[in-house]
Chains A and B, each alone.
Chain A
Amino acid sequence: MTLENLTLGYERRPVLRGLDGVVPAGELLALIGPNGGGKSTLLKALAGLLAPLTGRISRGGLKAGEIAHLPQAAEIDRSFPIRVEEFVALGALRRCGLFARFDASEEARVASALAAVGLTGSEARPLEALSGGQMQRALFARLVVEDRDVILLDEPFGAIDAATTRDLLALVARWHAEGRTVIAALHEFDIVRRAFPRALLLSGEAIFWGDSQTALSPQNLELARRRAEFAPEVRAHAL
């Protein structure tokens, strides 16, 4: 994926300015930086949910809809009466369409996805009965069923328990080993250091893009912090 002079924002007020760069296939990239620095905004633009104000994104032949996107947990209405199994099966929507029956191979996919995230046995539970961590597991299972080459994760480990984080990180590592591109917006620096070889530090613009140890150096973090302080309008637009 190639980003060219990309400026992103809402209602003409830019959140992220002048981003250039290339995400090679198979990259495992963390987006880090202060709140309102543009992490979620960039993910939304990559997923095709937000049109760039200027510049362009080329997705290497993929259509925007062919990129999997894990939204922040709060963006889904969990009171909706649906069972875990049915929710995870929605990942097959693009293959089956809105009208066709889900066939046996899709059912097998759903079962193995539930096993991969440790939700076997919870198939028939209603979505609203899940804890925050279990909900995140269900969302990851849906991504497994979607089976995409590029996967975007928006704060996947916010406010969930350690065991869930460990299991889901193992899944991310598996995706990386399978050659998929994974881009995740993260707050947890220890996870970035441990599991993400490369990082893009954002604070209204790209502060650093490269290996994650350097991105997390005190100098770079200080630079990002100062950039955020001098741009209050960026903070005001934090979502």
Chain B
Amino acid sequence: MLYDFLLAPFADYGFMRRALVGALALAVSGSPLGVFLVLRRMSLAGDALSHAILPGAALGYLVAGLSLPAMTIGGLAAGLIVALASGAAARFSALREDASLAAFYLVSLALGVTLVSLKGSNVDLLHVLFGSALALDDAALYLLAGVASVTLAALAVFYRALVVDTLDPIFLRRSSRLGEFTPFLFLALVVLNLVAGFHALGTLMAVGLIMLPAAAARLWTRDLPATLALAASLGALSAYVGLLLSYHSGAPAGPAIVLSAGAAYFVSLSFGRTGGVLRGIGQGRGR
């Protein structure tokens, strides 16, 4: 009975196993990146970047149809361009960064939807926006696994640089020649994960699996390594629960995964040990 509910969907169906592997890969590498996005106060920037890859992926789609390499390359290029451009716009224009991010992300979304609609059907549009976790082919799985491996390796190697750049960027620039490059390295990793993630969850949903577990983990501990591990675990758990939910209820897989992560976030927001609302009231300090 319990086996039927919890394990049989994955034991019986190959597409469920593939979906699980893909979502787990994204959760394990994306959620730790999300922790750094939260710490850098760039939660909205992550969202904006996820929209930014849409027109690039759409261009790839216009050229080659639903082709993994074309859409990946297009998405990567667009994401990196927007990451650089919004950084530059914030530095050189009078608008604050959030305004320029919002502008980039609204325009990108509209442009992406327009481009896909020019050629494709609404089904294709839904695929690009919300992904197709239940139809991951070998190439998409290799991409997800490859990106996860590269991301985790890069996080391990550049951990100290990322920590210092988040905490005290001026100090890092003073102490190391790598300082100037660290923010770009970080954004490149985020774009890489978003692009890999959009095959599984779609451009709009992938960022949910990156940000929500990270935001939830921050509410439980003040220790950075513990936060990173917890975020990855919560992400993996959300992927599993979301797919189960989708299987049993017929809900689309991507949104079900993000909803599970959202549930984890709201539980943490209420009961979290370091910053949960009820804790704060209990200790007489409403934070």
B167 and A77 within 8 A (CB): yes
Provide the residues of chain B in CB contact with A48, threshold 8 Å.
174
Could you tell me how many residues of chain A have their Cβ less than 8 Å away from some Cβ of chain B? 23
A71 to B224, CA, bound (A): 24
With A81-B223, A81-B227, A82-B163: A49-B178 Cβ-Cβ less than 8 Å:
no
How many whole Å from B74's CB to the nearest CB in chain A?
33
Provide the residues of chain A in CB contact with B170, threshold 8 Å.
49, 69, 71, 75
With A47-B174, A99-B157: A90-B164 Cβ-Cβ less than 8 Å:
yes
Q: Is B184 an interface residue (CB 8 A)?
A: no
Of residues 102 through 134 on chain A, the ones whose CB sits less than 8 Å from some CB of chain B are 126, 128
Provide the residues of chain B in CB contact with A80, threshold 8 Å.
39, 166-167, 224
How many whole Å from A134's CB to the nearest CB in chain B?
16
Q: Is A231 an interface residue (CB 8 A)?
A: no
B166 and A65 within 8 A (CB): no
Q: Please pick, from B157, B175, B222, B227, the residue contacting A93 in the complex, using a CB distance under 8 A.
A: B175
With A81-B224, A81-B227, A82-B224: A98-B178 Cβ-Cβ less than 8 Å:
yes
Q: Is B96 an interface residue (CB 8 A)?
A: no
Q: Is A60 an interface residue (CB 8 A)?
A: no
Interface centre among B166, B174, B222, B227 (most CB of A within 10 A): B174
With A77-B166, A98-B161, A99-B157: A65-B174 Cβ-Cβ less than 8 Å:
yes
Chain B, interface residues (CB within 8 Å), range: 20 to 34
Q: Is B142 an interface residue (CB 8 A)?
A: no
Q: Is B168 an interface residue (CB 8 A)?
A: yes
B175 and A94 within 8 A (CB): yes
Q: Is A97 an interface residue (CB 8 A)?
A: yes
A98 and B176 within 8 A (CB): yes
Provide the residues of chain A in CB contact with B175, threshold 8 Å.
65, 90, 93-94
A64 to B175, CA, bound (A): 10
B interface: dominant SS: helix
A69 to B168, CA, bound (A): 12
A77 to B38, CA, bound (A): 12
A97 and B176 within 8 A (CB): yes
Provide the residues of chain A in CB contact with B39, threshold 8 Å.
77, 80-81
Q: Is B160 an interface residue (CB 8 A)?
A: yes
A98 and B160 within 8 A (CB): yes
Provide the residues of chain A in CB contact with B224, threshold 8 Å.
80-82
How many whole Å from B165's CB to the nearest CB in chain A?
10
B174 and A69 within 8 A (CB): yes
A93 to B221, CA, bound (A): 26
Q: Is B158 an interface residue (CB 8 A)?
A: yes
Of residues 16 through 74 on chain A, the ones whose CB sits less than 8 Å from some CB of chain B are 47-49, 64-65, 67, 69, 71
A126 to B174, CA, bound (A): 24
Q: Is B171 an interface residue (CB 8 A)?
A: yes
Q: Please pick, from A77, A87, A98, A128, the residue contacting B222 in the complex, using a CB distance under 8 A.
A: A128
Q: Please pick, from B158, B168, B222, B223, the residue contacting A90 in the complex, using a CB distance under 8 A.
A: B168
How many whole Å from B171's CB to the nearest CB in chain A?
7
Of residues 29 through 54 on chain B, the ones whose CB sits less than 8 Å from some CB of chain A are 39
Of residues 161 through 218 on chain B, the ones whose CB sits less than 8 Å from some CB of chain A are 161, 163-164, 166-168, 170-176, 178
Provide the residues of chain A in CB contact with B176, threshold 8 Å.
93-94, 97-98
With A47-B174, A80-B39, A93-B175: A98-B167 Cβ-Cβ less than 8 Å:
no
Q: Is A76 an interface residue (CB 8 A)?
A: yes
Among residues of A, the one whose C-beta sits closest to the C-beta of B174 is A65
Provide the residues of chain A in CB contact with B168, threshold 8 Å.
71, 75-77, 90
Provide the residues of chain B in CB contact with A82, threshold 8 Å.
163, 167, 224
Residues of A near any B CB (own CB < 8 A): 47-49, 64-65, 67, 69, 71, 75-77, 80-82, 87, 90, 93-94, 97-99, 126, 128
22 A-B contacts (beta carbon < 8 Å): A47-B174, A49-B173, A49-B174, A65-B174, A71-B171, A77-B166, A80-B39, A81-B223, A81-B224, A81-B227, A90-B164, A90-B167, A90-B168, A90-B171, A93-B160, A93-B164, A93-B171, A93-B176, A98-B158, A98-B160, A98-B161, A99-B160
Given contacts A90-B175, A99-B160, 15 further A-B contacts (CB under 8 A): A47-B174, A48-B174, A77-B39, A81-B221, A81-B223, A81-B224, A81-B227, A82-B163, A87-B167, A90-B167, A90-B168, A93-B160, A93-B176, A98-B164, A126-B222
